[in-house]
Amino acid sequence: MQASKPSHSIFNIAVVVAALGYFVDIYDLLLFTIVKKSSVMAVGATDATLLVDSTKIINWQMIGLLLGGIIWGVLGDKKGRLSVLFGSIILYSAANFITGFIQTVDQYAMCRFVAGLGLAGELGAGITLVSELLPKNKRGIGTSLVAGIGLFGAVAAYFTYQYTNEDWRLCYKIGGGLGIMLLFLRISVAESGMFKQVKESNVQRGNFFMFFNNAKRFKKYVLAILIGLPTWYVIGILVNQSDRFGKSMFGSTTVDSGRSIMFAYTGIAIGDILIGLVSQYFKSRKKALLLFYFLCVISLIIFFSRVNNSDVRMYIICGLLGFSTGFWAIFVTMGAEQFGTNLRATAATTIPNMVRGALPLINLMFLSLFQKNWEWSLVKSGIVTGIVVLIITFIAFYFTEETFHKDLNYTEGEELMT
pLDDT tens digit sequence for 210-228: 899 889 999 999 999 999 9
Per-residue pLDDT tens digits for 238-281: 998 899 899 999 998 899 988 998 899 999 989 998 998 899 89
Whether residue 415 is predicted with pLDDT greater than 50 in this model: the reply is: no
CA distance 416 to 410: 14
SS3 418: coil
- Residue 223: CB atoms within 10 A of its CB come to 19
Pairing type for strands 3-4 and 191-192 reads parallel
Give 185-244 as a DSSP string: HGGGPPEEHHHHHHHTS-S--S-GGGGTSSHHHHHHHHHHHHTTHHHHHIIIIIITTHHH
> Distance from CA of residue 183 to its chain's centroid?
21
Which class for 348: exposed (0-12), middle (13-18), buried (19 or more C-beta within 10 A)? buried
Instruction: State the Cα angle at 153 between 150 and 154, rounded to 5°.
Output: 125
Beta carbons of 169 and 101 less than 8 angstroms apart = yes
**pLDDT, tens digit (0-9, with 9 covering 90-100), for 332-351:** 889 888 998 888 888 888 99
Cα 257 to Cα 99, 133, 315, distances in angstroms: 21, 38, 9
Name the residue among 32, 22, 26, 27 with its Cα closest to residue 257: 32
